[in-house]
Amino acid sequence: MKATHRQDRTALDSSRILAISPILALAAIFSLVVSPGTSQAQVSVKRRLSPEILAMHARAKRPAATAPATSLELAATATALTSSSFNSEQGPGPGPIGPGPGCNLFPAPASIGTTVPLSYFGPPPSDTNRSLVGPVQLLDTGVVDVAHGTITIPLYLGHLKGSGKNVWYVLTDVDDPNVAAELGLNFSAKLTFASHSARTGNLDANGDIVFDAGTVNFKPERKIIPGPAGHEFPPTFATPGSIGDANYGPLVQIVNAGNVIYNAPMVAFDVNANQISFPNGNVDYTKVHDQVVAIDPVNMTVTLNLINGFSFGRPVWYLSMDTSNALGAAIEHNTLAPLMQKLLLGHDDSFASPVERIFISTNGPESGGCNNPLRQGLSADLGDSFRPNNVLGGIPTIALDYSPYWDAQLFEWTQEAIEQGFRGQVREEFQILTFVQDKLITGPGGAAFGSSGFSINCSIVQRLD
């Protein structure tokens, strides 16, 4: 479906590309801190890996992680206890199971609205063709806890070349389909075109990565001061809870194993196992990534918070780990990853593009908070702490152009659209582009719609239907 609309968007895409500069200026103003399913198959742009090279990557395979056996506790660090509001709390923020329909996208069971009991309905056909009825778990390395909206996946211990410092990381995506199938990761052909924004490294004998460069400081305290009520975005101040150095980005190109590119976000750095042992939660966020709910360096697992979103009208859960600018990293509870700033943005699915698009409302409906089923947007997020229900482009099983690197496309409902009652919750990209064409949606501040000049590292975990 997506490909059939590309030609219809030519004029709109041209205007978007011309609009990049003013949007970039807006992003600069808000940079307040120092700097496998059958439908996924496609021809690889790389030469096929030899059996020997594939065997090297197979060493990175770990048993599927199991969720913690006990109830997880939220963090109660000293920094969190001194927070004046949820916008300054450390950690992942609320999970995707919200207290109302505006913060909970999980679909109703098939029996709702029928006289047929739930037990009648057979299993969905997603094991046969994952592009059909869900739910479908796409990141297959661990267990999704649907009651709490988390996933537990393998934790890896690598090292930094030279110093030998510990690098604790996870694997979520890879640009080779055979490696993806072997390890249970998402396949993204587009990551091949992101090599200039990737660190380099080598696999050791255990399948762990020795990174050539890239460090993260997890000690900073995340803090946001929202704007006035009803206009919380943009905030008046924002600082992320973890900051990478100039050489840090989540991607790593494996030099000694076919130059395969992994998405390997760092979750802790330069700490020993006993310093980050929080298997039951109550995590110290001065030592680990804010999206960590629990971390167990004995069993080598980590539990991460999931985020609500939509892709082509279907609700999805995804991980959000890194952002290329400070404002986005603070709002997303992410690591500021400066190396991501080298990504080519603004060209979506043109040749050699490394990104897909994520559409983020700045002023969607927020009245009523989570009780409002139309709730959406950054002002809503900053007003009640729950996530903004962003709209993603293609994901595995829906399209072939998936990338965990998302080109942020911030949009704003016009005052005329709001006054006429047209503002609502949008759930797929062509719906948004139609509203742009109809002049109901613009870029922030009335600018032309297009790339906002920053990117977010978000790996798809599960399609909910």
- Give the model confidence (pLDDT) of 368-398 as tens digits: 999 999 999 999 999 999 999 999 999 999 9
Instruction: Return d(Cα 210, Cα 208) in angstroms, integer.
Output: 7
User: Which amino acid does the sequence have at 185?
Assistant: L
Say what the pLDDT of residue 122 is. 67
Residues in the chain predicted with pLDDT less than 70, given as ranges, are: 1-46, 74-84, 122-128
Candidates 246, 271, 265, 433; CA nearest to 341 is 246
Say what the pLDDT of residue 127 is. 64
Give the torsion through C-alpha atoms of 412, 87, 356, 201, to 10 deg: 150
